[in-house]
Structure formats: structure tokens, C-alpha cells
Amino acid sequence: ITLDGNSLSITDVYTSALRSIPVKLSAAAAKRVEASRHLVEKWVAGDEVIYGVTTGFGAFANVRVSPRDIEQLQRNLILSHSAGAGDPLPPEIVRAMLLLRINALAKGYSGIRLSTLRFMTEFLNAGIIPIIPMQGSVGSSGDLVQLSHLALTMMGKGKVFYGDAVMDARLALKKAKLTPLQLMAKEGLALINGTQMMTAYAALAVYGAKKLAKMIDIAGALSVEALKGTDTAFDERIHELRPHPGQMATAKNQRRLMA
């Protein structure tokens, strides 16, 4: 699956999450990401005041952060938000989360480094699945807690599933021949300010619902046939009088299946 930030489909999300299909970045996405990162580095070098980059977060938005502490600021953001609770998210949801986050960052608006984004694709392709608690998201700015736990494991902290075993993230990275991610200016914020947990659940639910709707139509048509029922109830003229698009589509599908 090639990720460009714009063409990812619900079927792609399902396929990657359940069947571990490899992903890669498009060349156009890579160019956009590099251009955006260049701008961030220019701002930092020029001592610009930028929220969450050269300042603190939330109540500390007016507190300037010195250049030597900018990277520590991003690490602290991830560490402070990795405070979830409850059972782990299902592995397919975690994989979908990572895929969706890569896709969002591939749009090229976040200021993340291209090397960081490529690391994320390698992390996903390696089959490393972070153990992420279900509960604790702030919600207003996105799935901050769950995405922080995701970022935490890429930094070599926390626990993951890898090769059918639970292990320290650092060990899994070593086995996968990956070096723990070192966050730089803006990157912690870029990694967690999104809604990829709720989007992952939504995407897989929609995929399942569409599949279920197809199965229901088939079962309905077969039931009418088995019971020697009439197809008059599905006459196109009746349903055009309502008119509800979904109802008309279902009636049309019933007629097609019976034929």
C-alpha cells in the first residue's frame, strides 16, 4: 500500500490491519514532508515563537523553551501523556492506528522529519505491535494518550507484541534491526495530535458493516426464494415513491439477486 495522505481507502486500512500488508510512502509525499520540515528548522534557527516547538504546552504556552531543551520538551510530552489504563487495544486497531497516523503525516503539514516518517513505516512493516491501554484519552485534541503510548514504543520504551511474544520495546526494535526514535523539534506534537484510535475503530466498523449489509441482502433474497415469496414488494416503482436512497439500493439488489 502506497501512502500519499489522500488516497487511502477503508479497504486498505482493513487489509493492512488484518493481513499485515507492507506499506511505503509515495515520492510526492516525501517531497511535501521534506519541504514542511525545512520550514520548521528555519523557524527554530530563527528563534521564532511557535507553540509547542519553542514554547511549552497548555498553561505553559507563554513559557519560552531554550534551544538546548527543545528535544527534551518533545520527549517529555510523550512521557507525560503515556498514562493510559485498562486492557490493551486489539492488535488490528493498533496496526490501523499506526497506518492512519503515517497517512495523516504524509500530507506534509506537520513538520515531522522524513526520516521519522520512514522509521514509522519500517516499524509497521516489521510487525511490531505496541501494547496500548484502551482508556485515558483526553479527546479534545485527539487520542493523545493512546498515540503517546504508540510513540513511546518507537522511542524504545514500554511493551510490545513481537513474534507472538510480549517484550520490551527496545528489545523488539533491536530484533527488527531498528534504532529507537530520537524526537526532535515539533515531532512529539506531530505524533500525538490526531484522532487515529477513533478513526481506526470507525474504519474497521464501516468495513464490517458494508460486508454485513451485503450478506444480509443475500440472506434476504435466498429466504424469499426458499419461502416461495413474491418479488412484488421490491418493485422499483414502489420504492421510488418513498424515496430513500438506501431503501432503493437494497430493493434493486434484491431484484438482481432473485433474477
As annotated, the active-site residues are 51
Asked if 148 and 81 count as a contact pair (C-beta separation under 8 A), the reply is yes
How many Cβ atoms from other residues are within 10 Å of residue 57's Cβ?
17
Residue in the block written with cell 503539514: 109
**Helix intervals (H) in 5-50:** 10-19, 27-45
Nearest to 254 by CA among 244, 230, 240: 230
Q: And the C-alpha cell for 11?
A: 479497504
Virtual torsion, Cα 205, 208, 214, 215, nearest 10 deg: -130
Strand order across the beta sheet in which 165-168 lies: 129-130, 159-162, 165-168
What is the C-alpha R_g of the chain? 23
Nearest to 191 by CA among 159, 158, 146: 146
Q: Give whole-number Cα distances, 127 to 69, 99, 100, 116, 130, in Å.
A: 33, 12, 16, 17, 10
3-state secondary structure at position 166: strand
